[in-house]
Copies of this chain bind each other. A is one copy, B any other.
């Protein structure tokens, strides 16, 4: 384990991939090894964690490839992770195929990792947080965590990143409604992709529409006056990516100076602590043999109509010493 930790901290990509496989494993002995590894590596290095959300069709892979190449071209090391709770069902819709980012995948300063195939969002979230920590320990400067808009996955990604970017495709004014208000509110930056060729004018109009919509949202007192903002980019023509990156670093620097960067990380750490306690508590219902047997027994009584659900639940909670609800 010390050997793996050393190789990860030296930035060895194969060791990093191996370490991530370890944290993704659900085997108890792997979990224990992963905990030791994380503890050994914890602290020290900090990457800029960027969340990126975009539905299929907005050109997310092309954007990540072009944006990632821009960053590695500046000498930065870039890791790309994915949160996609549906990937097990859909057969890995995002990043399932590294060939979609062939150039970036071959770049020695880039590291691409598909979403772990778990159907449970809580499990994916935990593994991804641990993978982020490993990428930071491996010396990556930027960790990009991408997600496709499925239910709660944006919220999960926003809760583990420093900046949250929403990538959109050019669209007519009516379709602006399609983006859920809650997701708009999470975004620090909206990027309208495909601002090239025949779509250029539409992209610019879409961008203006979203800029208008963003002005209607509540201002965030901790951010510069012009944030959140909307910008046009073209992954295809590699246009606007440097401007987008400049805005991201400006916002991150501002937040670092005002202390909001550290405050956000502190709040996120607390959130994940609470979430792990909740998950661990629920896990007891299946991992503890006695509790599991009692659940089974009461569950059968309820199913057979010999006990009411509420009453049986109260009995189970009393048995768990959890008091009354």
Give the B-binding residues of A (Cβ under 8 A): 31, 35, 38-39, 42, 151-152, 266-267, 269-270, 272-274, 276-285, 287-288, 295, 298-300, 302-305, 307-314, 316-317, 320-325
Q: A288-B323, A302-B269 are in contact. Are A38 and B310 (CB under 8 A)?
A: yes
A322 touching B280, Cβ below 8 Å: yes
Q: How far is the CB of A59 from chain B (nearest CB, A)?
A: 20
A270 touching B299, Cβ below 8 Å: yes
Q: How far is the CB of A85 from chain B (nearest CB, A)?
A: 13
User: CB < 8 Å: which of B273, B283, B300, B317 contacts A309?
Assistant: B273
Q: How far is the CB of A270 from chain B (nearest CB, A)?
A: 4
Q: A281-B322, A309-B272, A325-B283 are in contact. Are A303 and B39 (CB under 8 A)?
A: no
Closest 3 CB pairs between A and B?
A: A276-B313, A280-B325, A266-B303
Chain B residues positioned under 8 Å from A305 (CB to CB) = 266, 269
Q: How far is B313's CA from A310's CA once the two chains are assembled, in angstroms? A: 29
Q: How far is B294's CA from A277's CA once the two chains are assembled, in angstroms? A: 12
Instruction: Show 12 A/B contacts (Cβ-Cβ < 8 Å), sorted by A.
Output: A39-B308, A42-B308, A151-B152, A266-B305, A270-B302, A273-B299, A273-B316, A274-B295, A277-B295, A278-B285, A280-B317, A287-B323
Q: How far is B93's CA from A29's CA once the two chains are assembled, in angstroms? A: 50
Q: How far is the CB of A217 from chain B (nearest CB, A)?
A: 15
Residue of B at shortest CB range from A314? Answer: B280
Q: How far is B39's CA from A143's CA once the two chains are assembled, in angstroms? A: 54
B281 touching A317, Cβ below 8 Å: yes
Q: How far is B316's CA from A151's CA once the two chains are assembled, in angstroms? A: 29
Chain B residues positioned under 8 Å from A283 (CB to CB) = 325
Number of copies: 2
Q: How far is B31's CA from A188's CA once the two chains are assembled, in angstroms? A: 42
- Known contacts A269-B303, A273-B316, then 5 further A-B pairs from the complex at CB < 8 Å, ordered by chain A residue: A273-B312, A277-B317, A281-B281, A281-B322, A287-B325
Q: A287-B323, A288-B323, A323-B288 are in contact. Are A313 and B270 (CB under 8 A)?
A: no
Q: How far is the CB of A279 from chain B (nearest CB, A)?
A: 7
Q: How far is B206's CA from A212's CA once the two chains are assembled, in angstroms? A: 36
Q: How far is the CB of A154 from chain B (nearest CB, A)?
A: 12
Q: How far is the CB of A177 from chain B (nearest CB, A)?
A: 12
Q: How far is B283's CA from A311's CA once the two chains are assembled, in angstroms? A: 16
Q: How far is B269's CA from A41's CA once the two chains are assembled, in angstroms? A: 46
B285 touching A282, Cβ below 8 Å: no
A273 touching B298, Cβ below 8 Å: yes
Q: How far is the CB of A41 from chain B (nearest CB, A)?
A: 11
B323 touching A284, Cβ below 8 Å: yes
B277 touching A313, Cβ below 8 Å: yes
Q: How far is B169's CA from A58's CA once the two chains are assembled, in angstroms? A: 28
Residue of B at shortest CB range from A320? Answer: B281
B281 touching A285, Cβ below 8 Å: yes
Residue of B at shortest CB range from A300? Answer: B270
Q: How far is the CB of A60 from chain B (nearest CB, A)?
A: 20
Q: How far is B309's CA from A310's CA once the two chains are assembled, in angstroms? A: 33
Q: How far is B275's CA from A309's CA once the two chains are assembled, in angstroms? A: 9
Chain B residues positioned under 8 Å from A35 (CB to CB) = 310
